Structure 1
Amino acid sequence: MTNRQRTQHQRDVEESVTGATVWLTGLPSAGKTTIAYALAERLRAEGRKVQVLDGDEIREFLSAGLGFSREDRHTNVARIGYVAELLARNGVLALAPVIAPYADSREAVRKRHQSEGTAYLEVHVATPVEVCSVRDVKGLYAKQAAGELTGLTGVDDPYEAPAEPDLRIESHTQSVQESAAALHALLTERGLA
C-alpha cells in the first residue's frame, strides 16, 4: 500500500467510525485515569481518534473556580459531559476518567448523550476505599486522615456507585492492561472500537 493509499484508508476508517463517550467513575486513586490512558494508547495504535478528558486537567482549565460542593461537582460533571458529547458526536472516542460521585449528575450526562443520539458507556472502576487509600496517588487520603482535608469522596463525602454500569472493573484484582483489555472488548462488542 502506498503512502497515498494509506492516507485515504485512514480517512475512510475515521469517517466510518462512530464516536462515543466512555465515562470511568470511581473513588480517588481507583485507577480510572491510568486505565483510560492505557486504553487510549491501544486505540490510537489501531488508528482510532481518542481524547482523554482527565478530570484534574478539566478542573484546572475548564472548571477553575469551582469547589467541591454538590452543586459545583454537578456543574463540573455537566461541563465535562458537554465536551465529551461534542467530541463523540464528531467521531472521537472520548474517555472521561472522572469521579462524578453523584448518580443524578452521571444520569444527566447519559440523557444528554441519548438526546443527541450519541453512544455513552458508564464504567465503574470499583476499587475498595482501603486499596485506594494505600495507592493514594495524590496524598488525599493521608491529608484526610491527618485532619488537613475534609470532603474526600468515599470517606467523609458520599460516592454513589453505579447500580448497573455497562462494565464494572475491579482494578485491584487485575493489571492495568487487563482492565484496558476488558474495556476494549466491551467497545468492540458494541461496535465502538
Structure 2
Amino acid sequence: MRRTGIANLPLHGGHPPAWLMRRMIELSGAIAEVIIEEYGTSEFISRISDPFWFQAFSCVIGFDWHSSGTTTTTCGALKSALDPEVHGIMVAGGKGRTSRRTPSELQTAAEIFDLDGSELVYASRISARVDGNCIQDGFNLYQHTFLVDSDGEWAVVQQGLDPQGGYARRYHWLGSGVDEYVESPHSGIS
C-alpha cells in the first residue's frame, strides 16, 4: 500500500450524549439509504472502506472531527440504523466485548443473505489477526466492525489504541480489494 499520509486520532473516553447519538443514527441511516438507493450496497461498502470518506461521513453525521470516537460512534450508529432486511447490508461487531459477537452475527448475516458464513467469519478473524499481530505498530485492537451486503461484498473498519501515546489508529479493508490477507490487504490506514 502506498503511504499517502497519517491521521492521529486522540484517544477520548466516554460516550456521546444520547440526544446526539439518536441524531447520528437517524442521519447515518438516511445518508446510507440514499447512497444504497442511488448506487447500490456495493458502493456504500466501498465508501465505508475509504478512510477519507469515512472520516468525512463521521463529521457530517455530527461527531467530533478529531477523536478516536469517530470510528466507534459512526460504526455503532450504522449498526443501529441499517436493517439487513430493508437495506441489504448487515453491520456486525463493534467496540470491546461487542466485537466478540462478530462471528455469530456474521452467521446470522449468512443465513439472511444465503452466503457462506465460514468465509465471512474467516475474513473477520484474519483481518483482526493481521491488524492485531502482523502489523506490530503498537496499537491494540479494541473495535472491530464488519459490514457485509447481500452479494457477499464486505468491508472491515477496526481500530487499535496506543495507551502510552494516547492515540488511536483505524484500519480499513475492502473484501474485493484483498488478493492476499497478508500482502497489502488494506484499503487504508488512518
TM-score bracket for the superposition, by shorter chain length? 0.3 to 0.5
What TM-score does the superposition give when structure 1 sets the normalisation length? 0.32
What TM-score does the superposition give when structure 2 sets the normalisation length? 0.32
State the structure with bigger RCO (CA 8 A, min sep 6), 1 or 2: 1
